[in-house]
Structure 1
């Protein structure tokens, strides 16, 4: 596979593919080889200013916000064009993200299909709802509620699943009638610039409606957050950055839609299929090297079968195939950057220093001369208040924690600042459902059911975020609500 033609070193601003100010570029590094695979445009503050201006002008002066038929047509054009380029897009994502080819189809083809789902929703969506006559004596009035776009959306996306998240934000934001400035993560610029190139060359999306910024620094995102011409920030990333976005956005009372981190618990009861249930956690912490916000990185096991469960987990992690993401046998590739590999390694080393001994893994694998790899790692029976148990690692690290009974499992699962996802497994399905309802998380796997889908809202409780992505609720995050009334 090749990504030739999509590895763009251009920004998309005001409908034109342009160089960054002064022709500035930076190297795009392949995390599996540590080698540069090309360059990306390195936007300046002036470039961001130009992109915001283009988006503001397009929203204020074009029919994009009111022409539903145009939006539907453009979304279907975008879906068709992306589908025709799906093979080079998969190659591009493997090269700059480190996504293994074993899982690449679902992370590229699925999001492209999702654009069609959003277009279908848009065609049938009722933007106006009649509330009937008011009943205030002497003030009879006809009331109705309309939904309308916010205006300019600043979409700030992560490096772990950039193509999927880019489209999960851009498609509903555009469908709702907003204009968008998409700001890519520094280490995954091409997954955004490729979409910009396809929009410019294969769709009728008006100039300025969709803009793409790539940059070697995160500051370009802060410029979006603080600019009063930007009406909504849609961010996916760490909870720490989410807190900063809320602070910066408060200066203009800007809506901040945040999908943040997690430390999700997989509760496996004594009567569950132990191997299968534990296997979900071991697979998830290795899938894309554990770089997923909803990863089930806490494995809660009954005290009566704890040692047995830890042995199963250790066996599975030890047998997990990982390495070159181009090898179709590998479930796990490298971590996305040297900086992030060092962060994961530092957390593991602190756990060791605190008295923890990895049952499996715990260091950089010695068989790779290059690449930001880290071994699948398992800790067991660490104190509940330890960093490795409580904080998101965002790497291939699983922590096994014992519990005494159902209420203790619920307590441990909820004893977290996060509430993004979770799972419950039991031989008694009603028991599983009852426990799942008591977990304060936005998505729950009950005895193996998979919640992911274009129509299912995704998001978290507590410090895992504000708002929902995907589904009708995800679409409505990008719509304002206006109540109107007229004399009876």
Structure 2
């Protein structure tokens, strides 16, 4: 049993003022593995106070000084890479192959921010004025449990790069992972008060941060419903928000798609991170005339997925993060059955031989756009297959959602795929791939998938305020 009984404020690990204790579980077994002591509003006030005081000097540091900090943060994570991986496997239930990639990617975000910083226009000379992009101030970061290191580092890196200070409220379900990550940050010789981390619930710590008068911006990743609450709260002090919210991403297979490539890719996209991913392509939109070809391939590649042993390099599917999330997925699977969708593979309950919070990778066919499983974000390994008769109908189905975070297109004709991609309302459209290889590209959503952008110069721009000096 592990006990996480410290928070990190002003460069020191300290006991939280809050008294609430939350149990932590191994999602692969359902066993209790620890406890976390949660902070409260008093802890938030202390953390913001420290961040505000540190901002006075940190905002005036040079690019060289901040670049050196970013390198040290990267090195600190790499030095604890094995510990970080082990914690993510145990506490989140992430298969080791995916875990290793995410940990490396999270560390790399600090080097990416350094490169973006070195090329960012902090000052622009106009004919009669100087425009200076100044750091905003104290940033509040509220992060989810589905990629703990990535979400924290993606918000912290641009803060360091721009000279802002930060108070982080990570998911309380990720406390063991966060503890090790915080130890990495503490070892990187970052000035006291620049990074502050308070474990706690959204209703207590999150609410205190979003309403705090000394917080200049709230950067949140999570559900659309919570994002709306944060935006409403932020209006009281007119603070900025960057919201990366939910998705119900379409994956459009055009008529000419090579099914032997497109179907296994579609399965990988749908069940990425065990389906617990905002960008997962959980609506597969396919030509009606090819559905009989598609069905056996969907069944084959879903059943071929390795599920269970989290320490095997071949395992692709892990458990849901919690009993609550497992029950949510079960409710959606039952909803699909009750609303008349046809179960092709998977279904309710645990996979054979597995307990804990594992859910069966599930594929529904004969889904229409009005069904709950076609409209709502499930955040689990459930794929809804919808057919179309014409390309225009495929695009209409793809856009028939309140979300617009990610989308996918498969085709042998790249020009045609790009033409379709331009008509899909989404912050990102990937063609014939599951991975965006361009780290300088922005990430963020259209419609109710969010406000603002992260990554590269776009992420830095969210954390600065332009000031005009005219003489």
> Whole-Å Cα distance in 1 between the matches of residues 46 and 293 of structure 2?
59
SS in 1 for 2:326: helix
Q: Which residue of 1 aligns with 2:180?
A: 194
SS in 2 for 1:313: helix
Q: Is the aligned partner of 1:343 residue 2:328?
A: yes
Q: Which residue of 1 aligns with 2:82?
A: 87
Q: Deviations over 1:351-397 (max 9, x none)?
A: 22222231111112253453101001011122211110011111000
> Whole-Å Cα distance in 1 between the matches of residues 93 and 345 of structure 2?
23
Q: Which residue of 2 aligns with 1:31?
A: 27
> Whole-Å Cα distance in 1 between the matches of residues 343 and 360 of structure 2?
11
Q: Is the aligned partner of 1:437 residue 2:437?
A: no
Which stretch of the first structure deviates more once superposed, 410-419 or 280-289? 280-289
Q: Is contact 1:363-1:374 (8 Å) kept?
A: yes
Q: Which residue of 2 aligns with 1:425?
A: 410
Match of 1:354 among 321, 335, 339: 339
Q: Which residue of 1 aligns with 2:458?
A: 473
Structure-to-structure mapping, 1:364-375, within 5 angstroms: 364-365=349-350, 367-368=352-353, 370-375=355-360
Q: Which residue of 2 aligns with 1:113?
A: 108
> Whole-Å Cα distance in 2 between the matches of residues 123 and 369 of structure 1?
49
> Whole-Å Cα distance in 1 between the matches of residues 332 and 314 of structure 2?
28
Q: Is the aligned partner of 1:293 residue 2:278?
A: yes
Q: Deviations over 1:249-283 (max 9, x none)?
A: 11111111000111111111121111211222211
Q: Which residue of 2 aligns with 1:137?
A: none
SS in 1 for 2:428: coil
Q: Is contact 1:267-1:300 (8 Å) kept?
A: yes
Which stretch of the first structure deviates more once superposed, 300-309 or 64-73? 64-73
> Whole-Å Cα distance in 2 between the matches of residues 190 and 119 of structure 1?
28
Give the Å deviation of 1:217.
5.5
> Whole-Å Cα distance in 2 between the matches of residues 121 and 297 of structure 1?
32
Q: Which residue of 2 aligns with 1:379?
A: 364
- Over 3 Å counting, the alpha-carbon distance change for 1:292 and 1:449 in structure 2 is closer
Q: Is contact 1:301-1:403 (8 Å) kept?
A: yes
Aligned length: 471
Which stretch of the first structure deviates more once superposed, 110-119 or 21-30? 21-30
> Whole-Å Cα distance in 2 between the matches of residues 290 and 304 of structure 1?
28
Match of 1:266 among 213, 228, 251: 251
> Whole-Å Cα distance in 2 between the matches of residues 143 and 78 of structure 1?
36
TM-score (normalised: structure 2): 0.96
Q: Deviations over 1:207-251 (max 9, x none)?
A: 111100112564211110011111100000111111111111111
> Whole-Å Cα distance in 2 between the matches of residues 271 and 369 of structure 1?
39
Q: Is contact 2:117-2:457 (8 Å) kept?
A: no
SS in 1 for 2:345: coil
Structure-to-structure mapping, 1:202-281, within 5 angstroms: 202-215=187-200, 218-281=203-266
SS in 1 for 2:264: helix
> Whole-Å Cα distance in 2 between the matches of residues 24 and 385 of structure 1?
42
SS in 1 for 2:236: helix
Q: Which residue of 2 aligns with 1:136?
A: none
SS in 2 for 1:463: helix
SS in 2 for 1:252: coil
| Gaps in structure 1 of 5+ consecutive residues | 133-141
> Whole-Å Cα distance in 1 between the matches of residues 305 and 105 of structure 2?
25
Give the Å deviation of 1:456.
1.9
Q: Which residue of 1 aligns with 2:64?
A: 69
Give the Å deviation of 1:295.
0.6
Q: Which residue of 1 aligns with 2:148?
A: 162
Give the Å deviation of 1:450.
3.4
Give the Å deviation of 1:329.
2.3
| Gaps in structure 2 of 5+ consecutive residues | none
> Whole-Å Cα distance in 2 between the matches of residues 216 and 251 of structure 1?
21
Which stretch of the first structure deviates more once superposed, 166-175 or 351-360? 351-360
> Whole-Å Cα distance in 1 between the matches of residues 203 and 103 of structure 2?
25
> Whole-Å Cα distance in 2 between the matches of residues 307 and 441 of structure 1?
29
Match of 1:144 among 97, 121, 130: 130
SS in 1 for 2:219: strand
Give the Å deviation of 1:8.
5.0
Give the Å deviation of 1:98.
1.0
> Whole-Å Cα distance in 2 between the matches of residues 216 and 34 of structure 1?
21
Q: Is contact 1:286-1:320 (8 Å) kept?
A: no
- Over 3 Å counting, the alpha-carbon distance change for 1:224 and 1:320 in structure 2 is same
Which stretch of the first structure deviates more once superposed, 71-80 or 432-441? 71-80
SS in 1 for 2:126: strand
